[in-house]
Each structure stands twice: as structure tokens, then as C-alpha cells.
Structure 1
Amino acid sequence: MDFSLSDEQKLLRKNTAEFLEKNLKPFVREIDNNGEIPMEFFRKAGENGIISPLIKLKYGGPSLSFMDSVIISEEIARIDTSMATSVYYLLNTSWAYVLQKYGKQELKDKLLPEIANGSKFIGIASTEPSGGSDVANIKTTGRIENGKVIINGEKMYISGAVEAKKNGGGHLTLVKTKEGVGHKGITMVYVPANADGIEITKLNNMGRMGISTSGIKYTNVEVPEENIIGEINEGFYYSMDGFNHARIMVAAACNGLSYKMLEEGLNYIKERKAFGKHLSDFEAISFEAADLRTDVEMAALLNYKAAYLADVEDPDFYIYSSMSKLKSPQIAMDTTKKVMMWFGAYGYTKDSGIEMAARGIFSYLVGAEGALNIMKVIISKAILK
């Protein structure tokens, strides 16, 4: 069993960190304040193969592995601790993967090169006002007639809708195409955000301000039948495959944030003095640091296993990706909270940057590719079957 990264992966981490330090770090606070990631960053990231790394060479992507993608995800979260860029990245990575795996050739030839070069966004639209994790009971309909899919309904809490409408792109959208059969009557369709009949309402989040969260209303939206992903009425299974893989990217981002917060915290307690001693000399803090470092390392190793199993197409990989999604956000939140407490009053100010991380990581606790209790349902069913 080899826990080391290959020379190529070490170089990937180094080059990604250097690219992000130059092209993303100077804009992080501006992104959080203004609510927008510069489009120029995505173009440069596309040129460097780190905006949708699973896309194959024949579509203009770098054809990297899930483990490679985890490395990139960790580095993005270390730089943009608001988690906004991490969300954009995980969507572009995971749902481009689904499009590449199940989409029709014409659609792949059209969209994947533009996603790979950073000029277009792709996300998932499954959550509805009536429920999030209960994908099988969606209400949005897709009527297929005369070579078109006509969509009516509403989605809620959808990431990237504003960006897709402004800059190009859209969402793999789940629609009901057969009534009375639950999840066996759901179809996945690629819907461009600028299609006629789409109304986007931006919601105001508490954090990760650089990527929008919106409601999307569909009123007789028409897209060509070629935009159907895979087979009709099989969309539920494609979405579950996508979520299972996306959870690896979610956990990787959380782990990257944990590493960054802990790094900042350790540097601070080794320098800051109170009562004539460094904070690191107090066992209440040093023991807490030991626990945090152990937790972060465990979370990262679990995530690496999930990525490895995804790369070798082990059918049980989804158990480990769910475990990663269960633990990594909680550990990242705990790490951020405790580091903020080490910093004291300064940690609560915007000057520290820790508050930005605290606001961002909450989005991964409450949802993002499945709520924590849903992860427990998945894991328990797998281990008890």
C-alpha cells in the first residue's frame, strides 16, 4: 500500500498552488465583497487544465484522474477560503464528468471543449422548493414532442445560474417524464441558462459570495431532444452517479480549508504570547491542535481512498465518498471555529479572513451534494445490507 503522491502529482500540486497564488489570491477578498469571480480567472484556469480536469484530451481537457482532481480542489480551497471558487470547480468537474460519461456525442463535442477552456459553466439542477435530497419526488416536468423537450416547473438553491446566464453554460436538469413510477420516471436534460422561458431569481447567502445561489423557474422552456443525457427515464441514476463522484470534490475542498485554517492557527499560537508564554505552551491549546491535526489527516486519507476507488472504478467507492462528505465538512467547521477562538477578537474581524471561511464552510454542512444525514442513510444501508 503506497500513500505517496507520484512525481507528476507533486508537480501538479506545486504548479496549481503557484498558479492560484498569482491568479486567484489577489482577488479573494474582492470576490467575497463583490460576489463575483473574475471571468479572466476561469479562462486562465482553463488554459492550465485546472477548471474541469476530468475532461479527456479529445475534448480539450487534461484527462486527469480523480486523485489529481482532489489535489487541485484542496489547493483551491487553501487560497479562496470563502469556498466560492471551490463550488464552481466541483460543479464544473463533477457534472462535466457526467456529461462526458452519458451525454450524446454531438452535445459532448459542442460543450466539453468550452467547459474545459473555462468559457462555459456546467452545474446540476435537481433541488426543488418542495425538497432537496428527495430527488425521486421532483415536480418539474419534461414533455417530449416533435424532437424537443418542453420543461415546466421550478428549481431552488441552484449554484451558478447567474454565472451560466451571463457567461454561458447551463445545468444538467432533472425533469419528470413519466408519472407514477417515482425515480424510474426521471430524465436528465442539459438546459442552457439563457434559454427562452427561464427566469432566474438570485438568493442572498451568508457566505461563499463569489458564486450565485438561485431559484430557476421554467415556463415552456424548449430544448432539443439531443440535450437529453443518456436514456429517457434513467436520469435519476445518472444524477446519483454524479453526486457520488462530486462528494469526493466537496470533501477535498473541506480538507484543503482545514489544512489552511490549521496552518494559520499554528503559526499564530507559536508567535502569540499571554502571561509570559506562547499560546502553544498551554496544553489546552496544544492538545486541541494535536486533535485537529489528527482529524484533518484522517479526513484527507479517507478522501484519498475514495478518489483512488473512483479511479479504479470500484463499485463500493460511493460508500467512501459518502463517508468523506459526512466527516470532512464537520472537521473543517470545527477546525475553523477553534482556530478563530485561538485568534480571539481578531479572528472575528474581516481582517483575519477566518470569518470568511466560517461563512463559506457552513454551505457544505447544510447541503452541497447531499445533507449529512443523507450520508448516514447511504452508509448505513451499505454496511447493513
Structure 2
Amino acid sequence: MSDFPLFELSEEHQAIREAVRAVCDAKVAPYAAAVDEEVRYPQEAADALLAADFHAPHVPEEYGGAGADALATCLVIEEVARACVSSSLIPAVNKLGSLPVMLAGSEELKKRYLSKLAAGEGGFSYCLSEPDAGSDAGGMKTRAVRDGDDWVLNGVKRWITNAEVSEYYTVMAVTDAEKGTRGGITAFVVEKSDEGVSFGAKEKKLGIKGSPTREVYLDNVRIPADRMIGEEGEGFSIAMRTLDHTRVTIAAQAVGVAQGALDYALGYAKERRQFGKPISSFQGMEFLLADMGMKVEAARQLTYAAAGRSERGDDDLTFFGASAKCFASDVAMEVTTNAVQVLGGYGYTSDYPVERMMRDAKITQIYEGTNQVQRIVMARQLLAGVQSEL
């Protein structure tokens, strides 16, 4: 049996949840609607999260970070997403972008970049996808060519979260086309200030409008060889190992937005009166709310179980990361849609937050691997016999 808390949070984890919720209630939630409507970066949230050391809680203490474990990091992301999904992408993407450095970077690379991230000197984004390489990440065309003591990168990365806002980028590039994903892709740290780095226009998205998504252009970007993450040819393996861990954070994000929608729907159902009584007293509504609550809690428990495996690096993390992300995001889409239904016509208007939550929830079924890909991953893990019992 594991000693990692799966079914009851420790006092420390409960305190983290309460602290993050207090910050979000005061300095994130009040701006969520404006951030969405104005399609602007949630600077108020960014400032508040940085001040509370919640902007990149996963960074180890030895590099100046909070040293939060995988579950604590999930709690931060869950609580921020409950208030504003766009804002939750600050801690989520900072982990996604910097985790390759944590997993495979040299000690010098860790000290240089994790310390800067912890100090708030710049966020970290992740550059894997390309215009013709989405689910098939191995089809990337970005190239890195060795030139003396440097590497020169050329290519285009697409769907890059917080692009241009972030100062640092983990970039996957082909270094040996003949080897493909088995030794032909290498990971690098690219800085926003590097000559030849530029950005496309912000994507016009259905949701998470406060989190800028842009293309990143690499035009003869010359970087020193010591910015390579791990060894040459390890990039694809590093990318996949990273996603095993960070899919758990997307699950936490999905749980958060689902909980936010459920909270609002419950309050509304108790106050809204029709036929002389609260709509919460009608059995049809009770059943709807019950299903919403049941599924949110099931998603939460699966997410926390996956967080435990992420912290320990268990052999079945790949299965649990994929299943938590897939299940929680499907639940988020269902629960936020049902929250709109609870509010009826009001839920369909931007005067109430549930329509924003529904739009924001959709992306959790798509990014960091579509849920169709997650089901492929889970099936292969099951067939290989790597899933273990709780």
C-alpha cells in the first residue's frame, strides 16, 4: 500500500487549498469575466500568484521554488481553474515548459532556468506541436543543426500557450531525420530574447481567451550547445515523459472548472424559484445536480491518485495520467454544459459565468493529447499489463 494520501488530504495539503482559494477569491475571480471579454492576459492573477509563490509551485526549494509535490501543484491549478481557467494556465504551463529541464537537464541548466522561473523572472512555455504535427508529434519539421559550439534552429511551432508572455521555451527539434522519434529529436531551451525568435498573431479561440496562444517562429536561432536538454536524440522521450506528468495537471484544471460550474449551479438552483418553489426542489433538477457532483468527485479522486503516481514516478503513471486527463476533461465538459442547463436562458448569456466555464472546459479534452489519443494510450498500457491496482 502507498503512504501517499489518495482519499484524504493531509493538513498541509488542505492548508494549501485554503490559501490558494483565498487568493483566487480576492484577486483572480473578480477579473475572470473581464479577462475573457477583453481577451487579455490575466495580469492581476499573474501578479497575485507570483506574490503568493503559486505561479510555479513545482520548482524545487534548492532552486528557490516552493517545492510543492505533485498533489500540491494539482491543488493550486484546480483552485485557480475553479475561478479562472485562463489564469490556471500560468502554473500549469510553467510546469509543462520547465519539467523537461527538471527531468533531464544538466545541473547548470537547472540552476540557470529553474531559479529564474521561481523568482518570477519569466514564464516557461512548451513547444512541441507544429502546423503539420499535432497528435503525430513525431512528424515535426523544425530542425536544429550543429554549428561548432552552437545549434541553429529553424521552424514553426503552433498552439504555444502563453507564447510571447513567457521568457523561456522548451523546443523540440529534429537533429537526425533518419532516426525519427527513436533518437532523431532533441530538446533545447530557447529564450524570447534570442535573435531570430518571433511570434504570430494571437489565435482567436472559443475559450481560455485570457491565455495567449500563438505560433513561435524560429529563423536561424543560434543558441549555445549547453542549452540542450539531456542528450542529443533524447527529445521525444523527454517530451513523452513530460506529458505523462503534466496530463495530471490538465486533469486538475478540468476538475477545477467543473467544480466552479457546480458551485454556481447549486447556488442558483437554491435561489431561483419557479411554480412557487426553488427549482432545486424538483426531482429532475436534483438528479441532474447529483450526477454532476458524483462525477466531479470521481474525477477528483482519479486525479489525486494520478498525482500520487506522478510524485513517485510509478510504472503505471502513463495509464493513470492519460485516464485522469481523459475522464476529468470529459466530466468537465459534461458538468459545465449541465450548469448552463440549470440556469436555462440565463446560463446562455455572458452575464453569468457558466457559459465561459463551458467554453473554457472544451480545451481540456483537446490539448496535451486529445482524448481519443488518451484512449489509445490507455488501451496500449492495459494490453501491455502495466496497470496496477490502487
TM-score normalised over the length of structure 1: 0.94
Say if 2:185 and 2:236, in contact at 8 Å, map to a contact too. yes
What is the aligned partner in structure 2 of residue 382 from structure 1? 381
Aligned equivalent of 2:186: 187
Structure 1 residue 36 displacement after superposition: 3.0
The answer (yes or no) to whether the contact 1:196–1:222 under 8 Å persists in 2 is yes
2:169 and 2:191 in contact (8 A); partners too:
yes
Cα distance in 2 for residues equivalent to 1:334 and 1:269: 18
Partner of 1:205: 205
C-alpha displacement of 1:28: 1.7
Deviation at 1:383, TM superposition (A): 0.3
- How much does 1:106 deviate? 2.4
What does residue 83 of structure 2 align with?
79
> For the Cα contact (< 8 Å) 1:188–1:229, is it kept in 2?
yes
State which drifts further: 202-211 or 253-262.
202-211
Is 1:170 matched with 2:174?
no
Question: How many angstroms apart in 2 are the aligned matches of 1:295 and 1:40?
Answer: 32
For 1:93-149, what per-residue CA distance to the aligned partner results, in whole angstroms no more than 9, with x for missing partners? Answer: 233232122112222222212211333111111111112021112111000121111
Deviation at 1:308, TM superposition (A): 0.7
Write the distance in 2 (CA, Å) between the matches of 1:28 and 1:118: 22
Q: C-alpha displacement at 1:194, in angstroms? A: 2.8
The separation in 2 between residues aligned to 1:31 and 1:363, in whole angstroms, is 17
1:59-108 superposed Cα distances (whole Å, 9 cap, x missing partner): 1101110011111111101111xx11122221102332321221122222
Give 1:373's aligned residue.
372
Q: Does 1:304 align with 2:308?
A: no
1:312 Cα shift?
1.8
Determine if the alignment matches structure 1 residue 328 to structure 2 residue 328.
yes
Tell me, in whole angstroms, the C-alpha distance in 1 between the residues paired with 2:42 and 2:74.
23
Q: Which residue of 1 aligns with 2:352?
A: 352
Larger deviation, residues 369-378 vs 312-321: 312-321
Partner of 2:71: 67
1:46 is aligned to 2:50: yes
Q: Is residue 44–residue 118 contact of structure 1 (8 Å, CA) maintained in 2?
A: no
The one-letter code sitting in structure 2 at the alignment partner of 1:186 is: I
| Aligned counterpart in structure 2 of residue 150 of structure 1, from 149, 152, 157 | 152
Secondary structure at the counterpart of residue 165 of structure 2: helix
The structural deviation recorded for 1:30 is 2.5
Distance 1:59 1:29 in 2: 35
CA distance in 1, matches of 2:303, 2:351: 31
- Structure-2 separation of matches of 1:174 and 1:7: 40
Equivalent position of 1:229 in the other structure = 229
Q: Quick one: distance in 1 between partners of 2:234 and 2:19?
A: 39
CA distance in 1, matches of 2:229, 2:94: 16
- Shift of the alpha carbon at 1:48? 2.1
1:52 Cα shift? 1.1
Deviations 1:250-284 (A, max 9, x none): 00011011111111111111221212232122222
**Secondary structure at the counterpart of residue 57 of structure 2:** coil
TM-score by length of 2: 0.93
Structure 2 CA distance for aligned equivalents of residues 305 and 196 of structure 1: 43
Shift of 1:39: 4.3
Stretch of structure 1 that moved more, 266-275 or 335-344: 266-275
Matched residue SS, 2:164: helix
Paired residues of 2:27 and 2:44 also in contact (CA < 8 A): no
Could you tell me whether the CA contact under 8 Å between 2:264 and 2:354 is conserved in 1? Answer: no
Contact in 2 for aligned 1:163/1:211 (Cα 8 Å): no
How is 1:199-278 mapped onto 2 (pairs within 5 angstroms)?
Answer: 199-202=198-201, 203-278=203-278
248-257 or 93-102, which deviates more: 93-102
Residue identity matched to 1:75:
E
The answer on 1:280 being equivalent to 2:280 is yes
Equivalent pairs counted in the alignment come to 378
Structure 2 equivalent of residue 137 of structure 1: 139
Equivalents in 2 of 1:270, 1:22: separation in Å?
24
Q: 1:182 deviation in Å?
A: 1.5
Q: Which residue does the alignment assign to 1:55?
A: 59
Distance 2:82 2:216 in 1: 31
Q: What SS does structure 1 have at the residue aligned with 2:200?
A: strand
Q: State the Cα RMSD in Å.
A: 1.5
Contact 2:96–2:126 (CA<8 Å) still a contact in 1?
no
CA distance in 2, matches of 1:44, 1:354: 24
Structure 1 counterpart of 2:97: 95
CA contact (8 A) 2:42 2:211 kept: no
TM-superposition CA deviations, 1:19-59 (whole Å, max 9, x none): 22222223222222333335464344234221111111111
Q: In structure 2, what is the equivalent of residue 35 of structure 1?
A: 39
Query: Could you tell me how far apart the structure 1 residues matched to 2:208 and 2:311 are?
Result: 29
User: Partner of 1:262: helix, strand, or coil?
Assistant: helix
The CA distance in 1 between the partners of 2:90 and 2:367, in whole Å, is: 12
Q: Which runs of no fewer than 5 residues in structure 2 stay unpaired?
A: 385-390
Of 159, 162, 169, the match for 1:160: 162
Tell me how far apart the structure 1 counterparts of residues 42 and 279 of structure 2 sit (CA, whole Å). Answer: 39
CA distance in 1, matches of 2:30, 2:259: 20
**Distance in 1 separating the partners of 2:48 and 2:259:** 25
Distance in 2 (alpha carbons) for counterparts of 1:267 and 1:23: 21
| SS of alignment partner, residue 344 of structure 1 | helix
Structure 1 residues 124 and 255, CA gap change in structure 2 (3 angstroms) = same
Structure 1 stretch 351-360 or stretch 372-381: which is displaced more?
351-360
Q: Deviations over 1:292-340 (max 9, x none)?
A: 1111111110001000111122111121110011111111111111111
Give how far 1:285 is off. 1.4
